[in-house]
Structure 1
Amino acid sequence: MQLIFQNLAFALPLASSVVTAQNPGLGLSSASGVYNSSETPSMLPWNTYNFCNAPHINALHYAPPPLAVSAAGQLVHVSVVMRHHKRTPDNLAPSERALNPPMGWDCSKAVQLTYDLGGVAIAHDATTPAQHPFARTIWSGTCDAGQLTSGGLIDAAQHGKDLWELYHDHLGFLSVVSPEEIWVRTSTEDRTMQVAGAMLAAMDPLRAARGQPWAVHTQPSSIDSLVPAYPCPAANSIRDAFQAVPAWTDHLSSNVSLKARLDDAFGTADIGSWASWYDHFFDALTARTCNGHPLPCNDFAGTKCVSEADAAAVFAIGDFEYDYIWHAAENASTYNSLTFGAFFAELADALAVPEFSHRLALYVGHDGSLVRLLAGLGVVPLRWPSFGAEVVFEVWEVVGTRFVRVFHEGTVIKGMEWIPLEEFVGTLRLLVPDQLFERCMGD
């Protein structure tokens, strides 16, 4: 019988509970979610949703599949699909500099290097001269918009260390940190490559010290399936339609007071990109709270600050929007398959090979990558994928038959504990529309 991912969904906390369950004593940390630290408070379960640094697979909380143990099963491949770790805001207010501490943002410990073999290593040094005519539109300091922060680099290194401790030290599956065993795929964004580099360095610091180059596989930015970035006008039309009905517009009209307060603080009134959904506010707030920055205040016309209650409301609305767009809306599944079908096909092809050329495949993408993957797998209702969020696919072989076990943020997904590989790959292929290019382009 054909596996249907949607029937394997497990229950996540309702998005609205992020607001209603807030514990004032913990600020923006509660059992419903952590939004102000990469460290989950010790009184909360280890796998609590943490937007700043998602829980991930690790040796301490790992158990091998019972059937593999009883039948002397063998782990033959692991694929990890993840979001990059924490960064600076990607959406800037018109007078961004005034909304940040005077020292701005510091990325001096997360320096990006660019060079060709035989060339000089070029270190990116982002600075904004105070006298620049447009200096008011970005913070001071050493960070660009959307850049991996020092804290994000640290979290990525710990992520890599934990992955190595599990699959090398604990299971003995990985033997050496080398391109022969580990295949890496990222988007063309520097932050995804930096995360991959930090993870690999934490697995083998000595190799990192030798400065040996590592091939990271990317696709052209205009058609990258991982982001995803390929054009799909048909999908855009579907999204336009389901964001024009009351199921979507009601949440905007019912939060006009919140929107007005946010506009006062950010100076974003009458800017369309900040009004059509809460994505920009969510990004601008979580990037701050996760990196230890205060919630923004605007002193231009009397001090207007974003309160913790309003920030929590934005986080809940963000969860609602992500779940609606990629899961709950009419035709959301079609929208998801059209926009991520190319990657579903890529993943299915990678898992279906008779012999794996690498033991570990590491894909470092974005929140848009993870939310589409989770929606396709039926892990609903959806929440906004955290920094460092991951889905891990283990392929085991028992008496000549291969099975897949799937983890989300360190925990086995209910219903995906032990699925025949052929059946799992077949279901992935059902998420790939026939003639995807023609469907997208309306041909």
Structure 2
Amino acid sequence: MLHKLRRLGLTVVILQIPAQIALGAAQSYGSISSAAGVYNSSVTPENLPWNTYNYCNAPHVNAKHYQLPVNAPNATLVYMNVVLRHHKRTPDNLYPDENELNAIPWNCSDFLQFSYGGGTTAIYHETISPPWHPFLSQIWNGTCDQGQVTQEGLDDAVRHGEDFWAVYAGELDFLQTVNEHDIFIRTSTETRTFQVAGGLLTGMDPAMATKTFPVTTQPSAIDSIPPDYSCPNADNIRDAYQSVPAWTNHLEENADLQNWLCETTGTTGLTAWTSWYDHFFDTFTSRTCNGHPLPCNSTGACVSEQDAAKVFAIGDLEYNYIWNAAVNATTYTQLTFGVFFIELTHNFKLFRAGGETYKLRLFVGHDGTMIRLASLLGLGKIAPLRWPAMGSEIVIEVWQVTDGEHFVRVIHEGTPVSTLAWVPLNAFIGLLESQIPEDVFQACMGS
């Protein structure tokens, strides 16, 4: 059932998931019976709780709602690792006849796309879709590439940085200045994560807009943030649990919806679009979050808000199943994210040993980053996981009490995680280590 609330000229989608599309509702791992969320505005209306799920701009740590640890009010914050998803972008997936399905051009000329080597001319690039191009049907009109951060997404990143700084510099005085000696930033190799990192830094300190700051990446073939490294054995595990009724039943039960969507968007017979709802979820939310209409083809057939609501519900359920609830989902997630957990473990061990030189390590990744991190930290044991929203954030704080002992608190999208609200540092490191396969490379590549 779909409800709409109108406030300040915004249409906010409040989603209740119909029982008939609950993925594997009869399975022992359970299912989501209902959920609510905002899917077409970065602003959550004031009549909804501040931490309402907002796919366009996830709730995050902010001064108005931040609370000190209740376990030790006199504790001192001494170290942090923060992981977040990039902010709003254009669709990352394209329909075969993308141009036909986009009535409004995508505009990314609002800000300059700088790309240059140090010590050379500060050049920037502009994207154009020439009207004479023979393959124009495969991309929209306008000045955006696929998966590119929009001006609105960059604005959200700046505000995210402002909110972060208001807490950790303003309220807690943990950070005093934005500098590369206290703050380490790592992103994926995708341009949008660089740009969001820049937006965050500018929000923390507007003067950073005219300065340089190092951002670390790993080679794209082995990057652990998305993650991108090869793991055939993990692929086999996932293929297996997406071949059983717990998965295939939901595709069969929603065959009419899928057929309609494929017929409308010209994706009939394309496995990438019919094997799950990831691509539809991406193309619909990218449009609704950026103020674009849902797809309509040249015959006048359109994807409706009700269609989109069903896709959003199914997307949540699929993500929870793949990375959290399926039999062997934990093994799959450990294999595909074990390398990143090695990095986290290294960071916290380095801090424990007194060798850490940074106060804050900040990682900017993707939805695949956040869903794996949430699952392996155990958040899916508290409640089924949802598709990580734009700007989704997990903050890992280390606090020191008066006797010198260290405790960890994890905050997910602005709200402390109940099971990780005050964990001894050694125990938290043990939790991280427990999610790392003994030999990740051999476990991924071995026979």
TM-score range, shorter chain: over 0.9
1:139-158 equivalences under 5 Å are 139-158=140-159
1:131-146 equivalences under 5 Å are 131-146=132-147
Q: Distance in 2 between matches of 1:109 and 1:352?
A: 43
| Residue of structure 1 in register with 2:20 after alignment | none
Q: Is the 8 A contact 1:185 1:362 kept in 2?
A: yes
Q: Return the match for 1:78 from 60, 77, 80.
A: 80
Kindly indicate whether structure 1 or structure 2 has the higher relative contact order, using CA contacts under 8 Å at least 6 residues apart: 1
Q: Return the match for 2:4 from 21, 24, 38.
A: 24
| Residue of structure 2 in register with 1:388 after alignment | 391
Q: Distance in 1 between matches of 2:432 and 2:101?
A: 44
* Amino acid corresponding to residue 359 of structure 1 in structure 2: K
**Alpha-carbon deviation of 1:193?**
0.6
Structure 1 residue 333 and structure 2 residue 335: aligned?
A: no
Structure 1 residue 431 and structure 2 residue 435: aligned?
A: yes
1:16-415 equivalences under 5 Å are 20=1, 22-25=2-5, 28-30=12-14, 32-69=36-73, 72-102=74-104, 104-209=105-210, 212-299=211-298, 302-353=299-350, 354-355=353-354, 356-380=356-380, 381-398=384-401, 399-415=403-419
* Amino acid corresponding to residue 98 of structure 1 in structure 2: E
Report the TM-score when normalising by structure 2: 0.91
**Residue-by-residue CA offset, 1:152-185 (whole Å, 9 max, x unaligned):** 0000000000001101111111010110111100
Match of 1:240, SS?
helix
Q: Distance in 1 between matches of 2:58 and 2:415?
A: 12
Q: Distance in 2 between matches of 1:281 and 1:28?
A: 19
| Residue of structure 2 in register with 1:5 after alignment | none
Q: Distance in 2 between matches of 1:405 and 1:25?
A: 35
* Amino acid corresponding to residue 352 of structure 1 in structure 2: K
Q: Distance in 2 between matches of 1:244 and 1:63?
A: 45
Q: Is the 8 A contact 1:352 1:425 kept in 2?
A: yes
* Amino acid corresponding to residue 206 of structure 2 in structure 1: P
Q: Which ranges of 4 or more aligned residues in structure 1 deviate by more than 6 Å?
A: none
Go from structure 1 to structure 2 and tell me whether the alpha carbon gap of 1:28 and 1:282 turns closer, same or farther (over 3 Å shift).
farther
**Residue-by-residue CA offset, 1:336-380 (whole Å, 9 max, x unaligned):** 000000001111111122233111111000000000000101112
Q: Distance in 2 between matches of 1:310 and 1:292?
A: 17
Structure 1 residue 416 and structure 2 residue 420: aligned?
A: yes
| CA RMSD, Structure 1 to Structure 2 (Å) | 1.2
Q: Is the 8 A contact 1:112 1:190 kept in 2?
A: no
Match of 1:298, SS?
coil
- For structure 1, the residue ranges without an aligned partner over 5 or more in a row are 1-19
Match of 1:217, SS?
coil
**Alpha-carbon deviation of 1:442?**
1.7
Q: Distance in 2 between matches of 1:63 and 1:220?
A: 38
Q: Distance in 2 between matches of 1:343 and 1:143?
A: 31
Q: Distance in 2 between matches of 1:291 and 1:125?
A: 20
* Amino acid corresponding to residue 375 of structure 2 in structure 1: A
* Amino acid corresponding to residue 331 of structure 1 in structure 2: N
**Alpha-carbon deviation of 1:92?**
0.4
**Alpha-carbon deviation of 1:264?**
2.3
- For structure 2, the residue ranges without an aligned partner over 5 or more in a row are 15-34
**Residue-by-residue CA offset, 1:45-92 (whole Å, 9 max, x unaligned):** 0000000000000111011113432xx321111211000001000110
Q: Distance in 2 between matches of 1:407 and 1:229?
A: 26
Q: Is the 8 A contact 1:84 1:192 kept in 2?
A: yes
**Residue-by-residue CA offset, 1:279-302 (whole Å, 9 max, x unaligned):** 000000000000000111001xx2
**Alpha-carbon deviation of 1:24?**
3.5
Q: Distance in 1 between matches of 2:259 and 2:155?
A: 36
* Amino acid corresponding to residue 164 of structure 2 in structure 1: L
Q: Distance in 1 between matches of 2:70 and 2:316?
A: 35
Match of 1:338, SS?
helix
* Amino acid corresponding to residue 366 of structure 1 in structure 2: H
| Residue of structure 2 in register with 1:12 after alignment | none
Provide the identity percentage.
54
Q: Distance in 1 between matches of 2:13 and 2:147?
A: 24
| Residue of structure 2 in register with 1:441 after alignment | 445
**Residue-by-residue CA offset, 1:201-241 (whole Å, 9 max, x unaligned):** 111112323xx321101100000111101100000000010
* Amino acid corresponding to residue 311 of structure 1 in structure 2: A
Q: Is the 8 A contact 1:28 1:308 kept in 2?
A: no
**Residue-by-residue CA offset, 1:131-161 (whole Å, 9 max, x unaligned):** 1000111011110000000110000000000
Q: Distance in 2 between matches of 1:207 and 1:267?
A: 45
* Amino acid corresponding to residue 23 of structure 1 in structure 2: H
* Amino acid corresponding to residue 435 of structure 2 in structure 1: L
Q: Distance in 1 between matches of 2:88 and 2:348?
A: 29
The worse-fitting range, judged by mean Cα deviation, of 262-271 and 24-33 is: 24-33
| Residue of structure 1 in register with 2:26 after alignment | none
